[in-house]
Amino acid sequence: TVPEVFRRLARDIRLEADVVEEAFLEANPALSPEGVVVTCKGGMVQEVRVCLTKTLEFRACGGDVGRVCRGVVGMEAVR
């Protein structure tokens, strides 16, 4: 589930990348911190990766999925 706050962004925002991860964890109680990764490009959130099994259950991401987004990042408003 995408956190409600991110589904209705009326304007571009800047926030800590960790806040994005925490929001996904709160919206998805079965998701573990090892199962979600925020990626960025050019200081903007590019995607939120949620790792799943073949049966679509949450799982920890593999070692090839790195934590590549840290610090303050931008997120564009929903258009």
Secondary structure (3-state) at 78: coil
Predicted local distance difference test score (pLDDT) of residue 32? 95
pLDDT band at 66 (very low <50, low <70, confident <90, very high): low
Is the residue at 78 inside a domain? no
Q: What is the mean pLDDT of residues 11-27?
A: 95
Is the residue at 66 inside a domain? yes
Residue 67 has pLDDT above 70, yes or no: no
Four-residue CA torsion sign, 78, 65, 23, 43: negative
User: Cβ(6)–Cβ(72) under 8 Å?
Assistant: no
Is the residue at 77 inside a domain? no
Predicted TM-score (pTM) of the model is 0.87
Q: Quote the mean pLDDT of the chain.
A: 91
Is the residue at 14 inside a domain? yes
